[in-house]
A and B are shown apart, each in its own frame.
Chain A
Amino acid sequence: MKMKKILAGAVAAAMALSLAACGGGGTTSGSGAGSSGAANSGAASSGGSSSSTNEPAGSDLTASLKLATYPVGDMTNEAVVKDLIADFNKVYPNVKIEPMYLDYSNGDQTVNGMIEGNAAPDLIFEGPERLVANWGAKGLLVDLKDLLPAGTYDVTTSSCTSADGAMYELPVCQTAHCMGINKDLFTEAGAMQYINEDTHTWKSTADFLKAIEAVAAIHPQVGVVFCGGQGGDQGNRALVTNMYGGQYTNSDFTRYTANCDENVKALQALVDVNGIEFDPGIVGSDEINLFCNGTLAMATCWNVGAAKSDTQGGTANFEIFPVAFPTESGDPVLQGGIWGFGIFDNGDQAKIDAAKAFVKFMTEDEAQYSKLVEATGYWATRDVSGLYAGNEIMTEYGKLVPFMGPYYQITLGWPEARTAWWNALQRIGAGGDVKTELDAFAAEANAAAEAAEAA
C-alpha cells in the first residue's frame, strides 16, 4: 500500500514535470470512477503525492460529483450555484461538487456525449421531457421516489414519474409559460383593447390576430414563429394549440395528434397574418432577447424567469405585459415547466449516495428549499410559507399559474418528435402546405413513439 503510494507520487510528479514545466505546489483531488470508499473513512482519502491532514468532519460521505444545470432562472449563474454547493459542503465537507452549465442549444448533445464517454454528470437539473422521457426512459437515471418530500403537489409528482412508476426527476420548481408583449408599442397601436388586462388573457383569437395587424402597422416585426431548433418550443406549441383549441398529443401521452384540424387552422392563420414571420434562424432564447431589445413586439417563449432576469427582461426599456396564449374559448391551457434534479447511474454506489444526499439536503429542509426555489426564480412544488411574500412580479405572473395544463412533454418518443416539430415548422415557413407538413410531423413523431413503446 505504502509502496504503491510512493510509486504513484513519483510517477505522477515525473509525468507532470516532463510534460509541462509547471511549478506550483502539487495538490491532488479525488475524482474519476470509484474514487471513494465510503466505509473506510479512517484514513486520509485524498491520495497522491501530498500529505493531507484534514479529517472528515460531519459526514463520512466522500465523493467527487459533477452537477450539470440547464438555464433555469439563476441555476446557471455561477455565484448562485456555488453558494448552494457551499451550503451543502458545510454539512458534507468531503463531497466535492463541480458545477457545469448547459444551454438549450447544445446542452443535450453535450450530455449525450458525456454519456457516450461513460462520464455522465452525476447530478442534473432539468425538466421531465429530458429526465423522464429521455434519459430516464433509457434506463440511465436513478429512481428518486424515496427522496420525495411530503406535501409535493400530486400533479407535479405524476409529471416526474415515468410509465413504469419510477421517479426520475425530483421536482423542485414549476412555472407556467406565457406570452410577453411590449405594452408601450401595443398601447401606441391601440391594440391593448384586445386584451383583458385584469386576467392577462386575450379577448379571443380573432382579437389576437387583429392586435398583430394593428401593431404591424407601426412596427415592422411583431412576432416570430421561431424554428431554428428545439430551444423554447413550448412557446410555439402552446400558441398553435391554444388558438383554436387543438391538441398536441392524446390524453394518455402515447401518440401525437398535432395534425388536427384546429392546429392546421391555427398555423394557417399564423402564416397568413401580417407581422408574424417563421424564422428558422433563431430559437426561443433568441426570440426573448430580440423581444427585450425592442426588435420584436411580442414573445411567445416568455415566463416569469425571463421577466426577472438581468440579462433579459431587466434590459428592456419598455413595459412588458404578460398574457396567456389566445383562445376562442377564453380558457387558455398553458404549458407548464417543471424542473428538478435527476441522478445518473454511473455504476458507482458511493457517487449515487452522495448525489442523493445533495438532493435531500437541498429539498428536505424548508429554509434550504426556499433558497433553492428562489434561485430558480419559479414557484415551489409544495406549499412553502413566506416564499416570495410581497414580490410584485411573482404576484402578477402568479395569476397565470392556474391556467397550467397537462404536462404532455413526457409523451413517448419526445426527443425525436421535438426535432420533427421544428423541421415541420421550417417547411411550413418556407411555403409548405400546413396540412401536409403537420401530417408528416405526426407520422414521424408517432413512428418514434411506436419505436419507444416497443423497446
Chain B
Amino acid sequence: MLTLAKANQPAMSRALARRETISGYLFLLPSLLFFLVFVVYPMIMCVYTSLTNATMADGGGSLIGLKNYVDLFQDEIFLKSLVNTVIIVVVSVPTVCAFSLWVSARIYNMRDWACSAFRVIFYLPVVTGSVAVTVVWKWIYHYYNGVLNYVGTNTGLWEKNINWLGDPKFALGCIILILFTTSVGQPIVLYVSALGNVDQSLVEAAQVDGATDLQVFWKIKWPQIMPTTLYILVITTINSFQCFALIQLLTSGGPNHATDTVMYYIYYSAFTLYKYGYANAMGVILALCIAALSAVQFKLAKSK
C-alpha cells in the first residue's frame, strides 16, 4: 500500500505521502471496521450461502451451484411474490410521487404555519412508526368490528362487511394504502423545499408573457424540480421493494399468497421452511433487482 502511494503521487514527498496514507486510514478505521465486519462480510456470506443447500439441521450445507436460482424460477410462490412486489412498486411509486407533488404544489406558497402544519400531518405516519400504524389499520380494516366496514355498510357503499385483509381481491390494495400513508411524508417535505427554490424571476417572466398556471408549472417548475423527483423515485422504489412489516403483521402473505412479497418470502423460507440457502438466493435476486433499478435511475439523473 505504502509503495503504491509513493508511486502514484511522485509530486508529494515520500514522508508526506506516508503521513497522508496513515492518517487517512486512521480516520477511516472506525467506519471501515463496522463496514467490513457488518456489511461486506455478510454480503459475501449471503452470496456464498445462496450457492449451498444450507438448512437448519445441517448448518453450512454443501455447495450445489446455481440450483437454488434455477429452482427459484420454477417456484410458483416465489414468482407470485415477485409479481406482488412489482405490483406494489408499480402502483405505489407513481401514486406517491404524484400525490406528494400535487399536495406540495398547493401548500408550498401558503403561509408558513399552514405549510408546516400540512407537512407535519403528512409526515406523522413516518414518525409514528410502521408497526404502530399497522396495528391501528388492522383494527380499522377489521372484518367484524372495524370502522371501515361500519362506515361503508351504514352509508350504503357496500352491502355487508368485507373481509378486507382476508379477501384476495382487496388485501394487496389495503396494504398498498397503508404503505402509501407511510411513504408520502418525505417526498412532500422535499417537494415543498424544491418548489420554494424555483427561480422566481423565470416564473414572473412567463406570467408577464401570459402563460397559464399549468404552463408555468410544466414548462418552468417541473424541469427545475426534476432532480428531486428522481431522488424521490429512487427512495420510494427501494422502500416499496422492501415492504415487509405490513405483510408480516397483517396477512402473513395470505390469503393464498395474495400478499406475499419477496421480502416476506425470504423471511418465510428461512425461518418457517428452514431453507437458508434458498432464502439467500432470493436475497441476491432482490438485491440485483434493486441495484439495477437504482442504476437506471441514477443514469437518468446524470443525463438530465
Contact = CB atoms under 8 A, between A and B. Distances in A.
A423 B274 CA distance: 18
Contact of A290 (B56, B144, B165, B167): B144
Interface stretch (B82-90, B222-230, B251-259): B251-259
A139 B254 CA distance: 31
A280 B273 contact: no
Given A108-B272, A426-B256, A429-B255, A281 B57 contact: no
B270 interface: yes
A280 B166 contact: yes
A228 B254 contact: yes
A416 interface: yes
Interface string A413-455: 0011001001100110110000000000000000000000001
B271 interface: yes
A109 interface: yes
A109 B273 CA distance: 10
B272 A419 contact: yes
Contacts of B164: 281
Contacts of A116: 56, 270-271, 276
A208 B271 CA distance: 39
B56 A115 contact: yes
A282 B165 CA distance: 10
A189 interface: no
A281 B163 contact: yes
B256 A109 contact: no
B145 interface: yes
A113 interface: yes
B143 A281 contact: yes
B260 to A, nearest CB: 11
B267 interface: yes
A112 interface: yes
Interface centre among A105, A113, A429 (most CB of B within 10 A): A429
Interface residues of A, number: 31
Nearest to A229: B252
B168 A430 contact: yes
A112 B57 contact: no
Interface string B260-275: 0000000100111110
A346 to B, nearest CB: 13
A260 interface: no
Q: How large is the interface on B (under 10, 10 to 19, 20 to 34, 35 or more residues)?
A: 20 to 34
Interface in A268-291: 277, 279-282, 290
Nearest to B55: A138
Contacts of A138: 56-57
B254 A430 contact: no
Nearest to B276: A116
Nearest to B165: A281
A279 B163 contact: yes
Contacts of B255: 227-228, 280-281, 426, 429-430
Contacts of A108: 271-272
B144 A295 contact: yes
Contacts of B56: 112, 115-116, 138, 140
B273 A416 contact: yes
B166 A112 contact: no
Contacts of B257: 423
Interface in B39-87: 56-57
Contact of A109 (B57, B165, B251, B271): B271
A221 interface: yes
Nearest to B143: A281
Contacts of B274: 112
Contact of B254 (A109, A221, A426): A426
A108 B167 CA distance: 26
B49 to A, nearest CB: 11
A112 B256 contact: no
Interface string A205-216: 000000000000
A415 B272 contact: yes
A279 B272 contact: no
A268 B144 CA distance: 24
Contact of B144 (A109, A221, A280): A221
A112 B272 contact: yes
A137 B143 CA distance: 39
The 6 closest A-B pairs by CB, nearest first: A281-B166, A280-B255, A138-B57, A109-B271, A426-B256, A280-B166
6 contacts: A116-B56, A116-B276, A279-B166, A280-B255, A419-B272, A426-B256
